[in-house]
Structure 1
Amino acid sequence: MNMKILHVIGCFDKKNGGVYSAITSITDMERSLGFTSDILSIRSDDQQYDSRFFNGQVNLFNRSFPYVFSPSKEAERWMELNIERYDLVVLHEVWAILAVRVASIAKKHQVKYVIWPHGSLDPFDLKKKSFLKKILGNIVIKGITANASAICCTSNIEKDVLETYNDQKNVSISVLPLPIEFNAEGSRERFRDKHNLSANTFVFLFLSRVDYKKGLDLFLRAYKRFLDINNDIDVKLIIAGKGNRAYETYINGLIAEMRLSAYIYSAGFLSGTDKADAFAASDCFILPSMNENYGISVIEALQSNLPVLISDNVYIWKDIIPAGGWVCEHNVDSILSSLNVIHREFTSKQIRMKRPAKVGGNFKKDQLISLYSDFYDLVINKQEVIFS
């Protein structure tokens, strides 16, 4: 069946990181299944996206009053005229006027829709503006989730904690890991030469947005204690990412306060060849996050054959550990304990037991395509979609 699918997101911009990357992964899978994928979004300043990732059209509309929560009268009018051209609508957010209106239009025209919440229905995210979300959840979101043909999660943990504002037994929830294809071959030597790292230096890599929830501050405190215990070790932490200026200032202050500058290198935002080289040059990827409903960079590291240290708040950790690396809790003592284990396993050569590339391969498109094919078939061809 040559399905035509419309993906709806308030801001379709590669600067938004995770959700943008998720949409490109999903639409790439749809293309492999022979489907056509269009995008509907609101126009934004300095908007960037790669049109080559899509075999359909990217439809952009102007924002309208009240200019917050992604409203667009232009987009709504276009939807009314064009929605029946589509077999399925995919909403990539729920806390937006555009998503609410599109769900209503789809229901009116009897076009099925599914929801990819991308963590926005997770308890961690619901703490933000919690009072308002509780009211809107019971008044508005309850209807959107109840009428969806399915809600898509990327892990079983996300499915278990998801808040739909309904009796969960009456809502169809599917687990669809995002397909990730990170095939870039990096150069260990090139990165190390460029950043003056010796061949014997043990390198930890933090490659993510520099944000309070990522756990970088906790890692720095554990890293300081680890260095105090192992003061003769040749080790570096590479921080590859950008973030809010105030939070970056806070992190730089911590580094100065703990006198860690000699053991840390800030590489800034990396992409393309530089990103692949960073993975190849490192010995352990770290993400002791406070909350992560998937973790695309974690999988990219694994596919680069780089073992990972992640917190148990990274929802896919059970699919990764132990062959892909190590898991810690989101606290300094647990991170320190993990650093000692990692040091011991590398020193004793136990690291050879790890198989990060094999674990990362489980998230590739060819491993997931049948799961996606079955999902779309059930959504389109059955009145009710029930997933275990």
Structure 2
Amino acid sequence: MKILQIVPSISLIYGGPSQMVLGLAPALAKEGVEVTILTTDSNGDNGQKSLDVPLNQPVKKDGYEIIYFRCSPFRRYKFSLDLLNWLKQHASEYDLAHIHALFSPVSSFAARICRQQKLPYILRPLGTLDPADLRKKKQLKQVYAALLERPNLASAAAIHFTSNQEAKVSERFGIQTHDLILPLGVVPTQKESNNNLLEKFKIPQDIPLVLFMSRIDPKKGFDLLIPALEKLLSQGLKFHFVLAGTNPQNPSYEEGIQKQIQNSLLHPHTTITGFVTGELKTALLQAADLFVLPSYYENFGIAVAEAMVAGKPVVISDQVHIWHDIHNSKSGWVTKTEVESLSNALQSALQNPEECKNRGNNARNYALENYSWDAIARQLIQEYQKLINKS
């Protein structure tokens, strides 16, 4: 079985949804699938240097290969004529394409080429069909959908949603689709503490640590989180808040959040790390007592799954689409998108360290069983084969 994975970028700077193919590809390869990832060298949208990678040639990885192509100068819109030309020439050599992202030109035109070349394809929307997301730049997206995404959806072999809730709320533009519901996977963190890294950022280790680790974006619920944390401080609760993340597409919003915290009573109780990866990311996940993500909408929440597999209880809103999993497995606390509801959940967690520990253990067990790349890859291969046979 030869499978293409097509994604606009796999740079760390774009976060988990883009990076997921780097977890999926080796898991598929382990099961004997020949995997080729097509992507661009985009590495941020605001003047960052492109990825330092060979272009237009296979780069061998753990049993699979990646081919990087030059991204157009307008990186925010992720377009590569070289990638699309390569796909036209080589589509017939593959059995199926798994395309990640909608409303991204390289993905949209890749689906169109697959259709022309009679290569069956799966689309993974990454939450872009959520009504809340479609309201952003609404008129432009309506035109884009009519011209490109509606026919792409109509001809897709399947639409890959990462939760039942994502599938339930997603817009289909009047199209009947075959839905494939499979979560994303996570890689278990190594249990090796690194106190030196925490000391470098002056993160105290004698009081509870509340961790936010995700993209700094309006949809993440900062207008709920900051007031909720301020309320807890005013009530005398002791904790330290770590804000880990960035926003390469909206740096002004990130700066605004940082200034808001600097002018808040949260300031002496907060560490802002910026974007983290590698050892520091692992150290923060291990040191955290509680992970929080009160998003207004989230099709999966890969950061939540990463915290769970690290054994951390999570406090999330009921708009993070895996909230049913969290609730049913008692892996944390689920709140409304309201300051009062969020502060009550955080207070309950912080005041009950033994319950926090129990729910953290539940979180790890659930994540290892349900968010394992190996298990997901095996299920996905079965779906791939069904779609290939059907085509």
Structure 2 residue 300 is matched with structure 1 residue 298:
no
Q: How many Å apart are 1:149 and its aligned residue?
A: 0.6
Structure 2 residue 56 is matched with structure 1 residue 46:
no
Deviates most, 336-345 or 189-198: 189-198
Q: How many Å apart are 1:251 and its aligned residue?
A: 1.9
Which of 252, 257, 267 lines up with 2:258 in the alignment?
252
2:338 match: 331
Q: How many Å apart are 1:196 and its aligned residue?
A: 4.5
Q: How many Å apart are 1:79 and its aligned residue?
A: 2.1
2:323 match: 317
Q: Take 1:177 and 1:88, find their aligned partners in 2: how far apart are those partners? A: 20
2:278 match: 272
Q: With structure 2 as the length reference, what TM-score do the two structures score? A: 0.87
Matched residues, number: 375
Which of 218, 221, 229 lines up with 1:215 in the alignment?
221
Q: How many Å apart are 1:8 and its aligned residue?
A: 1.9
Q: Take 1:49 and 1:364, find their aligned partners in 2: how far apart are those partners? A: 29
Q: How many Å apart are 1:201 and its aligned residue?
A: 0.5
Deviates most, 17-26 or 86-95: 17-26
Which of 82, 103, 112 lines up with 1:74 in the alignment?
82
**Helix, strand or coil for the counterpart of 1:164?**
coil
Letter of the 1:11 partner, please give it.
S
**Helix, strand or coil for the counterpart of 1:180?**
coil
1:206 match: 212
Q: Contact conserved, 1:91 with 1:115, CA < 8 A, in 2?
A: yes
Q: Which runs of 5+ in 1 are unaligned?
A: 384-388
Q: With structure 1 as the length reference, what TM-score do the two structures score? A: 0.88
1:33 match: 31
Which of 338, 342, 351 lines up with 1:344 in the alignment?
351
Deviations 1:39-75 (A, max 9, x none): 2234434226795655343333345699874444433
Structure 2 matches for 1:346-361, cutoff 5 A?
A: 346=353, 349-354=354-359, 355-361=362-368
| Cα gap change, 1:53 to 1:175, in 2 (>3 Å) | farther
Q: Take 1:369 and 1:145, find their aligned partners in 2: how far apart are those partners? A: 23
Q: How many Å apart are 1:288 and its aligned residue?
A: 0.9
Q: Take 1:55 and 1:226, find their aligned partners in 2: how far apart are those partners? A: 49
Q: Which runs of 5+ in 2 are unaligned?
A: 43-48
Q: Take 1:49 and 1:159, find their aligned partners in 2: how far apart are those partners? A: 36
Deviations 1:71-97 (A, max 9, x none): 444333322221101111122123233
Structure 2 residue 102 is matched with structure 1 residue 94:
yes
Q: How many Å apart are 1:327 and its aligned residue?
A: 0.9
**Helix, strand or coil for the counterpart of 1:177?**
coil
| Cα gap change, 1:116 to 1:49, in 2 (>3 Å) | farther
| Cα gap change, 1:88 to 1:335, in 2 (>3 Å) | same
Letter of the 1:324 partner, please give it.
S
Q: Take 2:311 and 2:112, find their aligned partners in 1: how far apart are those partners? A: 45
| Cα gap change, 1:238 to 1:290, in 2 (>3 Å) | same
Q: Contact conserved, 2:16 with 2:303, CA < 8 A, in 1?
A: no
1:237 match: 241
CA RMSD of aligned residues (A): 2.5
| Cα gap change, 1:326 to 1:110, in 2 (>3 Å) | same
Deviations 1:170-206 (A, max 9, x none): 3101101112112322317555544555543111011
Q: Contact conserved, 1:186 with 1:279, CA < 8 A, in 2?
A: no
Q: Take 1:325 and 1:188, find their aligned partners in 2: how far apart are those partners? A: 25
Q: How many Å apart are 1:141 and its aligned residue?
A: 1.6
Q: Take 1:287 and 1:113, find their aligned partners in 2: how far apart are those partners? A: 32
Q: Contact conserved, 2:204 with 2:240, CA < 8 A, in 1?
A: no
Q: Take 1:344 and 1:297, find their aligned partners in 2: how far apart are those partners? A: 24
Deviations 1:11-31 (A, max 9, x none): 343322223212212212321
1:386 match: none
1:287 match: 293
Identity, % of aligned positions: 28
Q: Take 2:315 and 2:294, find their aligned partners in 1: how far apart are those partners? A: 7
Q: Contact conserved, 2:261 with 2:267, CA < 8 A, in 1?
A: yes
